[in-house]
């Protein structure tokens, strides 16, 4: 197996060379954001420097100022809420389950979608250190948490060229189902 590509935020042109299916390890600062955080940032502005940033679709569980679980949220929930972040310079979205074709198009030439396995919240937390928070009034699950990552293992789900492992699987599954129905 190939060694994972090492990435560190802020990200730059190196993400443009990644291909769907590549394994990466991400280090550096990331910012969590779910639905309410996206809506707040659209209204009030992005509270962090978006240039080269990574946004993790996650509502971590905190206890005594430390992260005890940080599993990904279903990213498709943010399909209609991601364009302003990508346009502002965010180079990576992180979550589970992939994103829609509009986001795939928005990422072309700009950034990537990185997938983390659902159900591995404790594993994710073991690669994280809490650094701060924005919009704490939104509550634990919806606030924008500032997190320092240390080699979080991820897979490139959507690359900057339009490659999409989730769409590839959907198409293959559809063809297999059609063959099954005709048999």
CATH number of 5-182: 3.20.130.10
pLDDT at 143: 97
pLDDT at residue 6, rounded to an integer: 98
Q: How confident is the model at residue 170 (pLDDT cuts 50, 70, 90)?
A: confident
Query: pLDDT confidence of 174, banded at 50, 70, 90?
Result: confident
Domain ranges of the chain: 5-182
User: Per residue in 33-53, pLDDT tens?
Assistant: 999 999 999 999 999 999 999
User: Which of 10, 7, 26 shows the shortest CA–CA distance to 151?
Assistant: 26
pTM of the model: 0.93
Average pLDDT over residues 57-75: 94
**35, 140, 30, 19: which is closest to 79 by C-alpha?**
35
Residues 34/59, Cβ–Cβ less than 8 Å: yes
Asked if pLDDT for residue 168 goes beyond 90, the answer is: no
Question: Active site residue: 38, 57, 127, 151, which one?
Answer: 38
What confidence score (pLDDT) does residue 179 get? 74
Q: Is 38 a catalytic residue?
A: yes
pLDDT tens column, 81-136: 999 999 999 999 999 999 999 999 999 999 999 999 888 899 999 999 999 999 99
Question: Bigger pLDDT: 54 or 65?
Answer: 54
Nearest to 51 by CA among 29, 75, 67: 29
User: How many other C-beta atoms can be found within 10 angstroms of the C-beta atom of residue 167?
Assistant: 18
Place of tokens 């606030």: 143
């Amino acid at each position: 197996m190939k060694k994972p590509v090492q990435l560190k935020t802020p990200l730059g042109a190196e993400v443009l060379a990644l291909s769907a299916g590549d394994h990466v390890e991400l280090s550096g600062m990331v910012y969590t954001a779910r639905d309410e955080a996206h809506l707040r940032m659209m209204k009030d502005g992005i509270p962090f420097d978006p240039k080269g940033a990574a946004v993790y679709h996650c509502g971590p569980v905190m206890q005594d100022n430390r992260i005890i679980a940080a599993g990904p949220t279903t990213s498709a929930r943010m399909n209609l809420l991601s364009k302003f972040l990508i346009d502002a310079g965010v180079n990576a979205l992180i979550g589970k389950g992939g994103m829609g074709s509009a986001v795939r198009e928005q990422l072309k030439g700009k950034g990537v979608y990185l997938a983390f396995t659902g159900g591995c919240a404790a594993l994710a937390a073991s690669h994280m250190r809490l650094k701060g928070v924005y919009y704490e009034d939104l509550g634990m699950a919806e606030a924008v948490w500032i997190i320092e990552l240390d080699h979080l293992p991820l897979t490139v789900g959507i690359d900057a060229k339009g490659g999409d492992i989730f769409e590839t699987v959907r198409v293959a599954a559809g063809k297999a189902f059609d063959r099954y129905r005709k048999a």
